[in-house]
Structures are given as C-alpha cells and as structure tokens.
Chains A and B, each alone.
Chain A
Amino acid sequence: MDLRTSVGSLALDNPCILASGIMDETGEGMARVLRAGAAAVVSKSVGTGPNPGHANPNFIEEEAFCLNAMGLPNPGIKVYAEEMRTAVACGSVIGSVYASSPEEFAELAGCMEDYGACAVELNLSCPHAAGYGMEVGTDPHMVKRIVSVVKDAVSIPVWAKLTPNTHILKDIGKAVEEAGGDAIVAINTLRAMKIIPEFGRPFLSNRFGGLSGSAIRPVGVRAVYDLYSTVTIPIVGVGGICSHRDALEYIMAGASAVQIGTAVLKGLDVFSKVNEGLRDFMREYGYPSVKDMVGVAHE
C-alpha cells in the first residue's frame, strides 16, 4: 500500500501534515511532531513583528470541539528564523504567514523561503484577529491580489488556507486558482463563541474564537467537496480529523493530503495511527495508493 501523495510539486511520504497553530511556536515542537510521523508540519502563523496574541482565557476544550482565540501569537518573522532552522533540519516545514496587505504577505513568504520552507501557507482565514485572516480572506479580489503578489515573490509553492465563514467559498477558491496559487487548504476554524452562564459573559477574552475538532468535520468535508468540483489545483483537507476514517472522508471529497491539529490533544501518536489505519483500509478495500482515493466520492 502506497501512502505517498503529493500536493502539486510537493511530494509527501504520507498524507498527514500538522496543521498551523498546533505545537509549532517553537522549532523543537515542530521537530517532535515530525518525529511522531507527520509527513510535514505547518508553522505557527508568523507576522512581521512579535505578537503576544489575545489574553487568557483563549482556549477551551469540550468533548467534540475546541474553541480558541489565540490571536496569532508569534515572535515575529525575524526571530522565527531560529525556530525554522531547528525544524527544517528535521523534515518538511510549510511556513504559515499572516499579513494585512499583499506586499507584507510577499515579504513574509520570501523570508519563509529563505528559511528553507518547502511551501508557504497564506493565512487568509483566522477568524479572531482584527484586520487579518478571514478579514482579508473573504474578498475574492483581495485574495487574488495577495496570492498573485506572493507568487511573483517566491519560487516555492504557495498554498492559500481558506475560511468556511463565507457563502462564496467557491469564488474565493477560483480566485486562488486564477492567481496561480499552487494549492488550497480548507478549512480554518469556524467563528464561534462560548458563554459561561454563571458569569453571564463570554469565556474567551476576545469573546469570539475559532471552533475546531470533530464538530466541524462535516463542514470541512463539504467545503473540500465543493472546492474539488470548482478548481483543478490540489486541495489539502483540514478540520476535525482524529482517525483514518476522518482523513478518508476528506481524501474522498477531493483532498490530496490532510492536516491534523486539534486531535493532538489526545496524543501525538495520532499521525502514526491515522497512517496505520489508512494502510489497513487501503489493503482491505483494494486501493493501491492514496492517489487512487482522491475525489472518489464525486464519481
């Protein structure tokens, strides 16, 4: 059984990538996830300068979901060079960046290329950072400009991570493709809120946060299915993947690879378990390779 896959020109030993924002603030954190069996890791979203993110509380986990409003904490692109150096020495690292303008995105992406990133992932989808993320990623014209300016600035593949918090996902996907984007990553978290009744107020200091975990998987699978029927560039599926069956839903909806984030809560062995499960499934159901399963739900 062949677990190898590729996202455009980027070859991967298996389809499981660490999603951005999870254990990836430091180089050694990313290195550990690579050792745990992830084919690649996506870095924390990094901006131009240091950002402490939103104040605590900024995270809460429940049975079927997590809610976070980390607020894009990162030490800034300059200091992050050291973290990238450590991680890149251990495997494939996709550099995630966030910015408020196409030029800033291009500058950050260029740094990630210099740091040895194998691809750059544009965060066009964080739902809890004013002026960033989905605030720039829900306008197809803006998305097209950002992707196109970044494409001109770097030679590594450019991935656009999109938000489900829109009714025009297909239009945004098309904008990425028209601008020359190499892949679409879908989905980021869903904008959400938790209120503590005893206190009569929202739990997160930012009030709003992003919903992740099993609860959002059907939304993500639908988004990937929609995108696969709209664009021809590769898609990376993400949102609530905890098992190989979850990963298969995304792959069969059209994802060439998947990202795993929240499931790390239950243990870093999620990467090896998903890969093991995929191998067994492929053997039992007669799929020689991952590539043979991509998009089969559309047939």
Chain B
Amino acid sequence: MNDVVTVTGKSRSGDICSLSFDWDRTVEPGQFVMVWAPGMEEIPLSLSSVGDVKSITFRIIGKDTEALGTKETGDRLSIRGPYGRGYKVNDRKRTLVVGGGIGIAPVLPMMADGLDTALAARSAGELDFALPAADKATGKTWISTDDGSMGFCGNAVQLVKEILKEREYDEILACGPEIMLFFLHRFCVENGIKCQMSLERYMKCGCGICGSCMIDDKRVCADGPVFTCGEISGMKDFGHANRDPCGTRVLFR
C-alpha cells in the first residue's frame, strides 16, 4: 500500500539531505519505507524521525538520491511501508546506541528518545545534520571523527571501546557501514555484549516476497533490517558478500 505524502520541511548540509512530512502511521525506530517520486527509482530508507512528523535523511550518492534531493517543501512523495523489524529497546539505562556515517539517520529516533548515543563519522562536516538533534538529546552523547576534526579521534568501534572504559552497557543498537558493523559485532561477541544491527541489501519489493535482499536465508526487508547478535553470527555473507540486482552473489573487496 502506498501513501502520497507532502514534504513539509527540508534541510541540507553538504551531501546529506533531510525531508520531513506528515504521515499518520506508527513506525518503530529502525523500520524503513520505500520512497518514490516520478523521475527516480524507488529506494528503501529508514526513518530518521518517527513522531507525528516523519523524516527521511539520506546521503546523495547517485541519480536516485540526487533526484530525491531536489524535492522541496510542497512536493509529493510516494511512501510504502513501514516495513521490517526495527530495534527493540530492552533496558533503556543499559543500552548504547551507535550510529556511523549516514547510518546515524536510523538511530536518531532513539537518541531523541533519551538513549545514550555514540555518533561517528569521517569528519566534522558529515555530522552537521545530526548536531541539532544531539544538542537536544537528554541522554549522554559522544562524538568521534576519523580525522579528529570533531570529538574523539577514531572510528565508531574505537569510540565504543573508549565509552565502555567508563560506563557499562548490556546491549548496543547500531547502524552504519557494514565494515563498521562487522568489527562492532565482533567486539560485542568477544566482550559478551548483546547487539542489534540494521543491515542493508539491494531491495525490490521491500516486504518479503521477491527474495532479492537475502543474506543467507534471511530477508533483510522482512526478517530485518534489524538483526540480533546471534542472527548475525550465523550469517556467512555478513561482511563478506552482497547480491546485485540480478541476484548474483558478489564478494566485497
């Protein structure tokens, strides 16, 4: 089922763009929608805010995100969803949220909800879009950049290790590039910390029918996109291989 929504707000910093819209559906943090407008291909995006006003936040990386980035207040979008399984917050006080790069967008609703959050990016400029929300956050927030231009100098996994020196958490809820999640997952397993991670694969139907977004025998769209530590441990393609639009298995470099 698709809904046609009207863009009510837009912000842009560098190549990261946010569009907000009123959409009367209940969405869990980590769930996603299929977004389309004439002139682009339909793409999956997790929601970056899930209250009465919803928003999507995306990096402009190709022709479809470029077309989506031209949308202005008043323009209309086709939205299908919400789809998939989002994050499940078990113990608010003992949960650490971790977002890396544009993977910060899907975890913003949990930061807004008061959970302690670590934000990591390559450089300060890539964090601009998240700073207003981080300023309003009522939980603790940490920031790191690969080049040290803001906050701790290091990547997301190094930041998490620093945080855990001073505080204890039972579970990490994360989103980011697969390489980051791969090492963060390994760290969690080695240190007996539970985790939930949002994964990504090429999607078509978005709702569990077509089988194009499989990781092993899991459908990212319907069984995920958020998977538990144990589920991820059983995935041999995690961190290793992808599927192209033909369904051909393609190894990561």
Which residues of A approach B to under 8 Å, CB–CB? Answer: 21-26, 28-29, 31-32, 44, 50-53, 55-63, 66, 68, 70, 73-76, 79, 82-83, 196, 198-199, 201, 203, 205, 261-262, 264-265
Contacts and interface: CB of A to CB of B under 8 A. Distances in A.
A7 B1 CA distance: 36
A57 B247 contact: no
A59 B76 contact: no
Contacts of B42: 56-58
Does more than half of chain A's interface fall in helix, strand or loop, or is it mixed? loop
B212 A262 contact: no
B41 A55 contact: yes
Residue from B4, B76, B203, B209 having most chain A Cβ neighbours under 10 A: B209
A73 to B, nearest CB: 6
B205 interface: yes
A51 B209 contact: no
B176 interface: no
A28 B237 CA distance: 12
B211 A29 contact: yes
A201 B38 contact: yes
A33 B119 CA distance: 39
A129 B78 CA distance: 25
Given A57-B42, A59-B204, A203-B78, A262 B209 contact: yes
Contacts of B246: 50-53, 73-76
Contact of B4 (A28, A56, A61, A196): A196
Does more than half of chain B's interface fall in helix, strand or loop, or is it mixed? loop
B207 interface: yes
A33 to B, nearest CB: 9
Contacts of B41: 55-57, 205
Contact of A199 (B76, B214, B217, B219): B76
A199 B211 contact: no
B2 A23 contact: no
8 A-B pairs with the lowest CB-CB distances in the bound complex, closest first: A52-B245, A57-B42, A56-B42, A59-B205, A75-B248, A28-B217, A25-B247, A23-B211
Residue from B2, B37, B205, B214 having most chain A Cβ neighbours under 10 A: B205
Given A23-B210, A196-B78, A63 B247 contact: no
B7 interface: no
Contact of A22 (B76, B206, B210): B210
B247 A73 contact: yes
Contact of A61 (B76, B207, B248, B249): B207
Contacts of B212: 25, 73
Given A59-B207, A264-B209, 9 more contacts: A23-B209, A25-B210, A26-B211, A50-B246, A50-B248, A61-B209, A198-B4, A199-B76, A205-B41
Nearest to B213: A25
A61 B42 CA distance: 14
28 contacts: A22-B211, A23-B214, A28-B214, A28-B216, A29-B219, A32-B217, A50-B246, A52-B245, A52-B246, A56-B34, A56-B36, A57-B41, A58-B205, A59-B206, A60-B80, A61-B209, A68-B205, A70-B210, A74-B247, A75-B246, A75-B248, A75-B249, A196-B2, A196-B4, A199-B38, A199-B78, A262-B209, A265-B207
